[in-house]
């Protein structure tokens, strides 16, 4: 019997079992209509009237609004385990207008440190005139933290072009504030509904439905580099520094070699570095 002949009955059996138990459906969410665009500043002041939902796995709260051009999301992270690697990984938002889960299109919303001189050059390239005083103020720090919206497009799908259409770019801002002994982080996102002139857009319009997926956390190469640097500097007594990792964790307890697969496996079992993801079926509001 060939491998194909063996695998096929197994697939049928799996499908049959799912048909009996029933597939878990994604949460259906109705977006709230906005009469005017929101300013993306990472604050919750424009969301006081919003209906918040909670993802059971991560305990993150979120709310959704849209106007005629953009989709807006606010995430509220108040669980320390969800925040451990969020600032390293950022948050990925996947979208599909075909009613099925797909990671072909989406945006990675993240923060990065960029050299100040690179930022000044980029701003001037975009036509923003900076005074010498402004440049001097920026140059007080060799690097600046910037918010970045990176396209996820596995199929390299072209976006239509029309010079008469004005499509907003995606936007991201995050801010945190203390809440008792912990802190709360707000992540505010804007995603254009249209893909005209904007390949990071969804490709839909008000009143339609779209499936959204959210993903963040987990062990990243950046985190592993921090661990390796700590090992090089302090060996088994690596510091508890900016990474927020204990000395025992940074030393790779349970690992199977320097920077090897065992390290990733050990950290992936640690609840502090858990990878979070969930999907929703979103019904966009219409005017």
Question: 140-185 pLDDT, tens per residue?
Answer: 999 998 999 999 999 888 899 999 999 999 999 998 888 777 888 9
Return the residue matching tokens 């600032």. 87
Q: Does residue 251 lie in a domain region? A: yes
Residue ranges in the chain assigned as alpha helix (H): 3-21, 80-83, 86-89, 116-125, 132-138, 221-234, 247-250, 261-268
**Closest to 281 (Cα-Cα) out of 98, 73, 105:** 98
pLDDT value, residue 105: 97
Q: Is residue 70 part of a domain?
A: yes
For residue 129, the model assigns a pLDDT of: 87
Domain presence at residue 11: no
How many Å apart are CA 70 and CA 210, to the nearest integer? 13
Same domain assignment for residues 215 and 232: no
In whole angstroms, how far apart are CA 148 and each of 102, 108, 239, 282, 286? 22, 8, 29, 24, 29
Task: Write down the pLDDT at residue 84.
Answer: 60
pLDDT along the chain (287 residues), means of 10: 38 38 74 95 94 93 97 89 72 96 97 91 87 93 92 91 95 88 90 97 97 90 70 55 39 38 61 85 96
Contact between 220 and 88 (Cβ < 8 Å): yes
Tell me whether residue 1 is in a domain.
Answer: no
* Residue 2 domain-assigned (yes or no): no
Give me the domain span that covers residue 244.
223-267
Amino acid 96: pLDDT = 97
- CATH of residue 172's domain is 2.60.40
Q: Are residues 243 and 138 in the same domain?
A: no
55-62: long-range contacts, CB 8 A cutoff, minimum separation 24: 55/214, 55/276, 55/278, 57/276, 57/277, 57/278, 58/82, 58/217, 58/276, 58/278, 60/276, 62/214
Phi-psi region of 265 (alpha: psi -120 to 50; beta: other; left: phi over 0): alpha
Look at strands 32-33 and 61-66 and give their pairing: parallel
Report if residue 154 sits inside a domain.
yes
User: Is 127 exposed, middle or buried (CB count within 10 Å of its CB: 0-12, 13-18, 19+)?
Assistant: exposed
Same domain, 237 and 141: no
Q: How many structural domains does the chain have?
A: 2
Both 58 and 144 in a single domain?
yes
Residue 261 and residue 202 share a domain? no
Alpha-carbon gap, residue 193 to 236, rounded angstroms: 50
In this structure, are 58 and 112 located in the same domain? yes
Backbone angles phi, psi at 87, to 5 degrees: -70, -20
β partners of residue 281: 28, 211
| pLDDT for residue 128 | 86
- Considering the domain architecture, whether residues 258 and 163 belong to the same structural domain is answered as no
**Residue 91 belongs to some domain of the structure:** yes
- 153 plus 138 within the same structural domain: yes
Q: What stretch of H or E contains 30?
A: strand 27-30
* Same domain assignment for residues 204 and 121: yes
Both 82 and 181 in one domain: the answer is: yes
Q: Could you tell me if 198 and 231 lie in one domain?
A: no
Same domain for 153 and 56?
Answer: yes
233 in a structural domain? yes
Could you tell me the two tokens for 171?
A: 């936007």
């Amino acid at each position: 019997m060939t491998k194909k002949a063996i695998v096929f009955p197994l697939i049928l059996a799996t499908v049959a079992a799912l048909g009996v138990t029933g597939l878990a459906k994604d949460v259906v969410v109705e977006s709230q209509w906005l009469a005017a665009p929101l300013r993306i500043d990472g604050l919750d002041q424009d969301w006081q009237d919003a209906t918040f939902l909670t993802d059971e796995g991560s305990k993150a709260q979120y709310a959704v609004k849209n106007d005629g051009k953009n989709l807006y999301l606010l995430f509220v992270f108040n669980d320390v385990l969800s925040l451990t690697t969020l600032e390293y990984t950022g948050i990925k938002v996947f979208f599909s207008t075909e009613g099925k889960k797909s990671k072909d299109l989406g945006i990675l919303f993240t923060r990065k440190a960029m050299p100040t001189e690179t930022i000044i050059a980029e701003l001037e390239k975009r036509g923003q005139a900076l005074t010498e005083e402004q440049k001097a103020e920026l140059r007080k720090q060799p690097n600046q933290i910037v918010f970045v919206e990176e396209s996820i497009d596995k199929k390299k799908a072209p976006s239509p072009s029309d010079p008469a259409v004005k499509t907003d770019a995606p936007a991201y801002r995050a801010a945190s504030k203390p809440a008792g002994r912990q802190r709360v982080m707000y992540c505010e996102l804007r995603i254009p509904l249209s893909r005209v002139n904007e390949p990071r857009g969804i490709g839909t319009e008000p009143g339609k439905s779209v499936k959204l997926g959210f993903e963040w956390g987990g062990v990243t190469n950046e985190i592993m580099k921090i661990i390796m640097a700590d090992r090089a500097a302090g060996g088994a007594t690596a510091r508890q520094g900016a990474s927020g990792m204990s000395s025992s964790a940074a030393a790779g307890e349970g690992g199977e070699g320097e920077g090897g697969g065992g390290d990733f496996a050990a950290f992936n079992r640690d609840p502090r570095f858990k990878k979070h993801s969930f999907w929703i079926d979103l019904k966009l509001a219409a005017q």
